[in-house]
Structure 1
Amino acid sequence: MNRTHALFERLSALMQQAVREDAARHGLLPIQFQILGYLAQANRYSDIPIAVAEYFGITRGTVSQTLAVLEGKGLLRKEPDPRHGKRVHLKLTKKGEALLEETWTQRLDKAMPGDLNSREVLEEGLHTLLTTLQHLNNNQAFGVCQHCAHFLQEDGGWRCGLTGEPLDDRQRIRICREWRREAAPHG
């Protein structure tokens, strides 16, 4: 095993341990806690049950059961989509949002390089690695809306080039299941 493999393995183990501890502190299973974290970052195209299943690589049945538990605990609610019949959007309640206030992600932010340039280089390298692995494994990509090939900046705002719908400031910085790699710059 080379040093890079060892570092990723150790980082993965530490993050899994932190998720288990955070979840246990709130009487949740790790996947339940992770789903709440995902929904806190998901945009309106990605806060639906099928997107949760795709993101975590789990079955629709597992998602359905997990969502029922989280809804029963008052951590999320389902809102009908006025434009798409049976589709529901999953929204965190205030209680669900409060549960995510002190988690391993805040500890990770504290451990990241303070130098903005170093942080950007690290994030870009990790992003490239992630998208490459997702492609090699035939996984749904998921990514931040404003870094998508479909993202359009227009006079006075933003729009999704795939759906044609306008995007508000909050939506453009969230995770989207329709994300596609930006075209490489010509030059």
Structure 2
Amino acid sequence: MVDAAGAPDLNRRLADAVERLGNGVRALAQRSARDCGLTPLQQQVVLALVRQPPVRNEVTVLAAEFDVTRPTMSDAVAALERKGIIDRSASSDGRRRVLSLTAEGLAVADRLQVWDAPVTEALDRIPVDDRAVVLQSLLGTIADLQRRGVISVARVCPSCRFFERDAHDDAAAPHHCSLLEVALPPADLQSDCPEHHPAA
């Protein structure tokens, strides 16, 4: 499909731009993971364990989080255990195995914290209002892909049952979170909300 000027359709160009950005992000992840002696998936696991609540630090949950099979995630976790980066311990109910970072793992996680600095630095040169619009658009797309079954886990505002889009007349804060009972500006939308409850 082409637009009136004969250029590729805007949606196609946006999808191509997202793909190119994804390629760049993957290249950064591969480079930083390699520098720490890890695979990109192992890097994702390390960063997840330092950033997300302990209740989500299980092999099955992480497999869904990163859209890989449970055996693939188990292999990544086993390799991290062999490297002394993570430990497994019994959960409080004794039925599950919870993952946590060792002292060495915390040091690795600290090194990895800035792996995406070239991306965040490039974004920092874009006006805040423009970044907020892009964030809102991307989170809406992620929520739609999750509804279609393309993405397994999406704890983004637009996929949450507490999110009310365009609930307020205020253009600066048009959305509403009925869990927190607050108006939400586009810049405050969450990409990984710990209070997320999937919409029906």
How high is the TM-score relative to the length of structure 1? 0.71
**Contact 1:22/1:103 (8 A) holds in 2:** yes
Q: Which residue in the other structure is 1:88 paired with?
A: 97
Deviation of the 1:6 alpha carbon: 1.9
Partner of residue 75 from structure 2, selected from 50, 54, 65 = 65
1:110 pairs with 118, 121, 134, which one?
Answer: 121
Aligned-partner SS, 2:88: strand
The 4+ residue runs of structure 1 with deviation greater than 6 A are none
**For residues 39-83 of structure 1, what are the alpha-carbon distances to aligned partners after superposition, in whole Å with 9 as ceiling and x for unaligned?**
33322332211111111222222211211111222222223221x
Matched residue, 2:198: 180
SS for the counterpart of 2:20 is helix
TM-score calculated relative to the size of structure 2: 0.67
Gaps of at least 5 residues in structure 2 are 1-7, 163-177, 182-189
CA contact (8 A) 1:39 1:90 kept: yes
Give CA deviations for 1:119-146 in whole Å, capped at 9, x if unaligned.
222211111011111211254333169x
Count of residue pairs the alignment pairs up = 162
Identity of aligned residues (%): 25
Residues 17 and 102 (structure 1), Cα distance of their counterparts in 2 relative to 1, 3 Å cut: same
Residues 99, 73 of structure 1: alpha-carbon distance in 2 compared, 3 angstrom cutoff: farther
Give how far 1:180 is off.
Answer: 1.5
Contact conserved, 2:155 with 2:191, CA < 8 A, in 1? no
1:102-126 Cα deviation digits (max 9, x unpaired): 302x322211145332222221111
> Which one has a bigger Cα radius of gyration?
2
Aligned twin of 2:87:
77
Q: Counterpart amino acid of 1:59?
A: T
CA pair 74-174 structure 1, distance change in 2 beyond 3 A: farther
5+ residue gaps, structure 1: 155-171
Quick one: which of 54, 71, 75 aligns to 2:64? Answer: 54
Cα distance change on mapping 1:101 and 1:44 into 2, 3 Å: closer
